[in-house]
Chain A
Amino acid sequence: DTGVSQNPRHKITKRGQNVTFRCDPISEHNRLYWYRQTLGQGPEFLTYFQNEAQLEKSRLLSDRFSAERPKGSFSTLEIQRTEQGDSAMYLCASSLAGTGRAPLHFGNGTRLTVT
């Protein structure tokens, strides 16, 4: 399977703990996005990388959220000091930048439950 891969699929954590999620994009894609989806809402854009450069991070929900893409391949999203309001589905997507517009291809997400 050469689609976008996210791990873990599910994460249950206690309030105050740190969590880290991993995303492996489609191999030739140079753009990588993180989204959050809560119940009854559409995905909400969080941050975006082109290769290893994080070009947009102002939409990260708070300074407890951070993302990295150290070698321009896989990416991690970390949430520090989790709160119950962080419970959501975290989606990763990738696309190939080119002269035209390219759709984003999403992974199956990591569902976070904070107890």
Chain B
Amino acid sequence: DQQVKQNSPSLSVQEGRISILNCDYTNSMFDYFLWYKKYPAEGPTFLISISSIKDKNEDGRFTVFLNKSAKHLSLHIVPSQPGDSAVYFCAASALSGGGADGLTFGKGTHLIIQP
């Protein structure tokens, strides 16, 4: 049973427009959420995180929104640039594990920025 779901395997967006990547989770114990970006042949790179006490966190062109009641988060990239083309993973963890739970990842969304 997947606890973190990214239902769009791929997303194509025109350069300069907004990219919106979505993620749903089922485990109500999750309280820390992260987005990672991955290029081929490289490990995932941390992008942005949000704790459950917030509903929005912004860092430059990247904003993460958290809707706890819907168990949904989204990553907005504005404006989208060609270098943003990559696979994006949503991940979550529960503080109760003291870090021992590790992160639970979704399957990823392949974002393609069209020129």
What's the nearest-Cβ distance from chain A to residue B35, in Å?
Answer: 10
Q: What are 23 inter-chain pairs, A to B, with CB distance below 8 A?
A: A4-B43, A31-B99, A33-B102, A40-B107, A42-B91, A42-B107, A42-B108, A43-B105, A45-B102, A55-B100, A56-B97, A56-B102, A59-B102, A97-B99, A101-B49, A101-B51, A101-B93, A104-B46, A106-B36, A106-B43, A106-B44, A108-B41, A108-B43
What's the nearest-Cβ distance from chain B to residue A101, in Å?
Answer: 5
What's the Cα separation between A56 and B96 when bound, in Å? 14
> Are the C-beta atoms of A108 and B42 separated by less than 8 Å?
yes
Cross-interface CB contact of A44 among B32, B97, B101, B105, cutoff 8 Å: B105
What's the nearest-Cβ distance from chain B to residue A24, in Å?
Answer: 13
Count of interface residues, chain A, beta-carbon cutoff 8 Å:
28
> Are the C-beta atoms of B107 and A41 separated by less than 8 Å?
yes
- What mask results when residues 8 to 36 of chain A are scored 1 for a CB within 8 Å of chain B, else 0? 00000000000000000000000101010
The 3 closest A-B pairs by CB, nearest first: A42-B105, A45-B102, A106-B43
> Are the C-beta atoms of B43 and A50 separated by less than 8 Å?
no
Q: Does A48 contact B (CB under 8 A)?
A: yes
Cross-interface CB contact of B43 among A44, A59, A107, cutoff 8 Å: A107
What's the nearest-Cβ distance from chain B to residue A28, in Å?
Answer: 16
What's the nearest-Cβ distance from chain A to residue B26, in Å?
Answer: 15
Q: Does B111 contact A (CB under 8 A)?
A: no
- What mask results when residues 96 to 115 of chain A are scored 1 for a CB within 8 Å of chain B, else 0? 01000101111111000000
Contacts of B46 in A (CB 8 A): 103-105
